[in-house]
Each structure stands twice: as structure tokens, then as C-alpha cells.
Structure 1
């Protein structure tokens, strides 16, 4: 029996236990947390008043919409990029991996919804560990995958002849991404270094950035470096190089065309090919911008919690970055639906009632024919040799 059960409606009733003062003055965040679960909640949240139930219900509904739209959008991306021959390229393996990360992020949402409609830490410590572990794998995995996409786009545009990604190399990079992610997800789970704890309205969980110990501070600093600064630096570097390359290349072409007294040195097919690559690069840049916009607030909150003024971190303040992170997992696939040329073509073929108007360019058609011819050539040669 919970000795605090009467405190939520009767603030003047005598309450026993070390947390009595937190529960009797007003309903706080921990008002319905079982006594045996209190050790898993950072003390920072003990004095914060509980939100009105309506806010939990609204967040629960918002996350239900997130989950629905993410499953539909990312499911389509995984299906089409995996099944369409024109999209089964080494570069697009990173796109599929990002969609898997975004989809994985939604797998934990039922725990949040359950907590929200039960007004707090209802799923308990076990639910928190599941939520935190999945969130860590999906969040860090998405950041590393965005960095890999930036690297690939840089090679395709800035090094078109010697920068082509092979299927084996792409697969190896994806394996390295998950190897990179795993330690930072497993260590808090088994409390080898840091731990997963509830945050905000105690309905979501993340790694501990509030406990005032050197170990927690060091972990937060390393996480900030490994999981935010390094991927972010790669993203900024590679996309700045892409922009620089495109600008310089266009200047050189215009200069040469002027010397030769022609309007342009590009053939129609070359223009279409470059246009498609630039459109794909724009998609990648948009998604990486969304990643920056989503995860920067979380990084700032974690740094404030570990090294700054913790009084700034109210439950509402810490819920905002969590909302931003989940929103990106929903938006990513629809960015592809709007902007990625080949994806739009395949989407129009498979789901015609969406009425997407996109036709393959001559360069894409030629590319597909060339790939088919090249793949058929070895078989013909083998037959002739026999």
C-alpha cells in the first residue's frame, strides 16, 4: 500500500517518509511515483509542481500523431528505396538506415503515451530503461547517419569520377555507425557509466544530466563531443565543401564559355544530371538542417543540466527538445516525398492516387538502361566463352 496515496487530494493530512515535505505542500511531479521508484528520479524534479492533467493528455495525443505519421512516412521510404531498382544504390543505403533510425525512435512512443495518460512515471524503471535505450540507439544513429550522408553527397558532387560509393563500402560504413552507437546506449542501460532517468513531466527518459557528480558530468561532456559535435562538424564541413565546389565549378564553366563565345558548355543531359544531383543534395541539406534544429536544443539542455544553472530547467523547458527530436523523425520522410526526384517517380508509380507529378529525366532513363546493359554483359560473355 502506498502511504502517500492520500496526499494528492488531502494536503493537510499527515504523510510519513523522507519525501513527505515534497508531497504535502502541493502536488509535485513525484506525487504518484511509488516509494521504491523514487531512487530512479533525479532530485531536481522533486520540488517542481505537477502539470495540469490536460497537458499530459495533449502531449499523449500529439505523440500518437507523431507515431502514425512516422510509421507511414518512414515505412514508405524503407519500402520504396528497398524495392525500386532505380533507388537500390549504395548511397541510398544511408537513406534507408536513416529511415530505420527514425522508425526506431517511434517504437518507444507507446511508453510515453502510457505514462502521459497515467500522469507520470507509470511505466516505472523498466519502462524508462527501454525508452532511454531505444532513444539513444535511434538518436545517435540518426546523427551518425546524417554525417555519412553528408560525406557521400560530398563524394558524389565534388569527386564524381573517383568518389563513387560501392555497396560494400556503404555496408561497412553502416556497420561502423551501429558499432559507434552501441557503447553510448549500453553503458547507461547497465549503469556502467551514467544511467537513464525520467525527465520533463517524468513521462520520457534520457541519460542523466542532472545528478551532481563528476562521473555524470564527464559522461555528459563526452556524449556532447562524440554524439553531437563530431557528427555536426562533419555535416558542416562536407556541405560547405559541396557549396564551395558547385560555386567554383559554375564560375569556371561560365568563364570558359565566355572565352569560347557560347552560352553554356553543358549538354542537356549533363544539365539534367547535375540538376538531379543538386536536388538530392538539397534534400540531404534540408534533412541535416532539421537534425541540427532538433538536437541542438537537447544538447544545450544537457550542458545546462551538467554544468550550468539547473534552475533554468523546468519540466516544460525539458519537454520542448524532446518534442523537437520526435518531430524530425516524422518530417524526414516527407522531405523526400516533396524533393527527391527518383523517389517521387517511384511513389507515383506505386501509389497513383497520391497524384504526384514527377517524370524521370532523360539522364535517369539513360542511366537505368545503361545499368541494365552493363549487368547483362557478363552473362553474354560467359555464354560465348562456353
Structure 2
């Protein structure tokens, strides 16, 4: 099932044969949040032999992590002002093939890691100038991006409308299937010895300026290290993390032999279309400042279908299989917040905006390095919470 539990979903990302455990009295590492980021960190740390316990307010492997389309699109996602985030995205993109191989090996499950690239298209002459501006920015950043004419776009994707007049092919941008990734992470965490606690609200237990563990309705779990990785819900008393929910509505269509589908992810100015190996075509996603309002709206669904139809007319014949909404964890600068919080023993990994899947490997590696080497190096070192201190002081 795909998406949050209030919707009709595509398929489950959980592994029903594996049962989560009760709250332990103590653990080496307590992670709050059993989504993509929390499980990625838990898997890497458990592989090191650490005793890791993950606390999830809902169901492990479900929730917001299944609301995504699974794009690993460092080049396609590049926008004005995002140049300083690009090294982190490229580093994580570099890590993804190894991350995927190890995840599939540990879990015995495939994650549908696809290397078909991402195609951005201009629908009509009025969009070409904006697409050309994006391509110029990509060239200055020296990412892989090839300019294509309309005929070249349709050669690669014959189902596109004749009104497609130009495109950019980003061959190094890949994709995975979120339900498969979440099922693999869940199984890999358990195989490595991690403990998973479901339907359990948890908050950092703080005293004397440090974290002592996590408090839950089922009791206290003592831990010298607590990692807050609860996505848009990473807001706890005593922990000032500038992250908010950014709502996104998406839907899944079922392709048929007579309708055909796409070979790769296609982006327009309105939507992105992501084909999956099970025959679904994902259409996403709106960007709405609505707090935690998870309603699926007529306006949101119309915008998605209209945007998809403008690029791929065959969607008119595709059954609608699922509609859902989710909440991107978005920080002040749309970039992740990684590492120390200023409270001893309390770390954070959140704020990944719409790039959670792309940034999962580099996030897990950064937190692992911080715990093993007491530091973060490389591009991830620039994404600590301390960068927000001047902004927070100015608004306090």
C-alpha cells in the first residue's frame, strides 16, 4: 500500500511476517521515527553491532515515506538558490548504487533501482525559455544534462504530446520504488538486530542539559544517544528544530498494454510522472502550506490529472488506482538538518524537503560518522542546526 493510512493505497511497504518488539529498558541508540531516514540510520548503526531501537508513532515503514515517488534527481532538482545544496545531493547520488546493493543483499528484496534518467520537458513555446534557463544553470554547475529538441524527446518517450518542443535529459538521475525500499529497510534492520517499536509516541527524555533516553506511554527507554528523525513531526519540547510540514498530494494510475507508459521519469512545470515496474504510473506532487491537514482535495487531484494529461494524453484511459497525501519535512532553507543539536547525546536528522530518498544514504553515513568518529566531514558537515542560529535569534 502506498501513502498514509487514511487513503486507498497502492501496496504495503511493511513486511507482515516481522513483528515489532516492546519498549526495552535501555538501548545504545534510540531513534525517534521509523520512516525512510530513521530506518536508514538504524540499519547502518545496527550493522556495526550497536543495540538500536526505533520508535514509530504509527507503523514502521508506512506513513510519509510512502507518499514519495522515489526520485534520486540531483540534476533535475537543481533550482536557483540551490547551488549550495548540490554537493550534498551529488555525494548521496554517488553513494546510492552501493547503498542499493547492500540493502538488497541484506534484505533479500529488490528495490527497483532504475537508471533510466530523468527527462524534463517544455510543453509549448512559452516554457522553453524557462527550461533553457534551468539548463544553463545545470551547465554552470557541471552536472550531466543534455539539451534535446522536441523530436528527440518523443523518440525517447513516444507517448508524449506533439506539443513537447524541448527537453533536458539528466542521465545520472535515477529512481527507486518507495514501498520496496521501505520493506527492504524494515527487514534489513531486523536482520541486523535492531528493535522496532510501533504505535508508540516517543520524546527525548532530557535532564541536566543532556538526553537520557526517550519517554513513551509504555515507559522510559534509557539511551546515551537519541536521534530525532521523525520527519515533519520532529518538534519536541526543549528542542527547537525549524522544520514544518509541506503537504503534497499524489496519485497512481494503472497503465495497460493499450495505453502504454513511460520508460523513465518525466517532469513538466506542473507535475512529475514516475513509471514503476509493477505497471503503475505515479503522478506528483502538489506543494501546499496546509499544516497537518491531510485531506485529498478536488483541486489537488484536478491539478495533477490536468498536468499529466498535458504531457501524456494516454492517461485518460488509465484507471486511477490510488490517491494520497503526505508531508514533506521542510526546513527554513529547504535543506536537511543533520547532526548535533546543542543538547548532549541528542542528534537530529530531518528537514529533507522533497529529497528524502535522494539524501538517505548521505544522511545515514553522516550520522554514522558522527557517532563513530565524533565528527561529520564532506558536504554533510555544512548542514548542522547551528546554521539557523542567527535566524532563530532574530525572530525570538
TM-score by shorter chain over 0.5: no
Higher strand share: 2
TM-score, normalised with respect to structure 1: 0.27
- Point out the structure with the larger helix share: 1
Q: TM-score, normalised by structure 2?
A: 0.26
The structure whose RCO (Cα within 8 Å, separation 6+) is larger is 2
Larger radius of gyration: 1
